[in-house]
């Protein structure tokens, strides 16, 4: 009999709904499997889309998966900035949305290698404490910069001050920071790909069953093929 918590083993592709935290979804899957459960990157509560959850022995694959590139679709309201860069924060500034030409000029500065401040409402530790906890208490801190790679940044539509973008970015990129740099905030955010894994192959947390776990060997083979 395998040691407690190591089976069932594999990687779950879960389509997170808007509302619950990623950690709540991890706990939900853990209750279904009875195994130790981890993740390969979280999503903000308001965001939806693909979570890679690691079950049992497969938790050791975390180091192979957390650095994978990601693809997102987001709708950004360019008429207002919020304190969090998303719809959960307070509006801190309002402005006229840019014309299409000005928007493209702003987008051009955000393609390739970029440095942007990490959002204050993030889990990064500042002086040993999570930044979002400091923000909730009204403590203002200078957030560190993070270098990211924006491989593609495409406009799908732009109307009435709201732009829909699709982005391919390196791991650790904050889409909320990109929205803020454009002069707005994310209204919606959906992660559609993590490396070679698509949200189209994912299921809701409620529809998940251990039978849907991808075997470790298959996961590693997909990652290696994507990097080749």
Domain boundaries, the chain: 10-66+196-227, 70-193
Superfamily per CATH, domain 70-193: Pseudouridine synthase (3.30.2350.10)
Distance, CA of 53 to CA of 128 (rounded, Å)? 27
Q: Is there a catalytic annotation at residue 168? A: no
| Stretch (H or E) spanning 32 | helix 22-33
**Exposed, middle or buried, 47 (CB in 10 Å: 0-12/13-18/19+)?**
buried
Marked catalytic residue, from 44, 77, 86, 180: 44
pLDDT in tens, the chain (228 residues): 445 688 999 999 999 999 999 999 999 999 999 999 999 999 999 999 999 999 999 999 999 999 999 999 999 999 999 988 999 888 999 999 999 999 999 999 999 999 998 776 666 676 666 666 656 666 666 667 889 999 999 999 999 999 999 999 999 899 999 999 999 999 999 999 999 999 999 999 999 999 999 999 999 999 999 887
CA distance 56 to 210: 11
Please give the DSSP secondary-structure letter assigned to residue 214: B
CATH number of 10-66+196-227: 3.30.2350.10
Round to whole Å and give the CA distance between 176 and 118: 9
- Dist CA 193 CA 177 (whole Å): 19
> Could you write out the DSSP letters of every residue in 140-154?
---PPEEEEEEEEEE
- Going by C-alpha positions, the residue among 176, 178, 177, 152 that lies closest to residue 166 is 152
């Amino acid at each position: 009999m395998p040691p407690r918590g190591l089976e069932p083993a594999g990687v779950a592709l879960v389509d997170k709904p808007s509302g619950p935290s990623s950690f709540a979804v991890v706990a939900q899957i853990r209750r279904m499997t009875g195994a130790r459960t981890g993740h390969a990157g979280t999503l903000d509560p308001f965001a939806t889309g693909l979570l890679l959850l690691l079950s049992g022995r497969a938790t050791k694959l975390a180091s192979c998966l957390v650095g994978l590139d990601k693809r997102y679709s987001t709708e950004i309201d360019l008429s207002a900035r919020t304190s969090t860069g998303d719809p959960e924060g307070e509006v801190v500034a309002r402005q006229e949305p840019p014309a299409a030409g000005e928007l493209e000029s702003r987008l051009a500065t955000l393609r390739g290698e970029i440095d942007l401040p990490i959002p204050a409402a993030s889990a990064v530790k500042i002086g040993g404490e999570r930044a979002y906890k400091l923000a909730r208490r009204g403590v203002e801190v200078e957030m560190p910069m993070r270098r990211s790679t924006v491989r593609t940044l495409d406009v799908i539509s732009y109307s009435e001050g709201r732009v829909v973008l699709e982005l391919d970015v390196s791991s650790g990129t904050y889409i909320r920071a990109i929205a803020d740099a454009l002069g707005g905030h994310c209204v919606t955010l959906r992660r559609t790909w993590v490396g070679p894994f698509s949200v189209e192959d994912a299921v809701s947390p409620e529809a998940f069953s251990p039978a849907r776990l991808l075997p470790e060997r298959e996961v590693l083979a997909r990652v290696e093929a994507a990097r080749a």
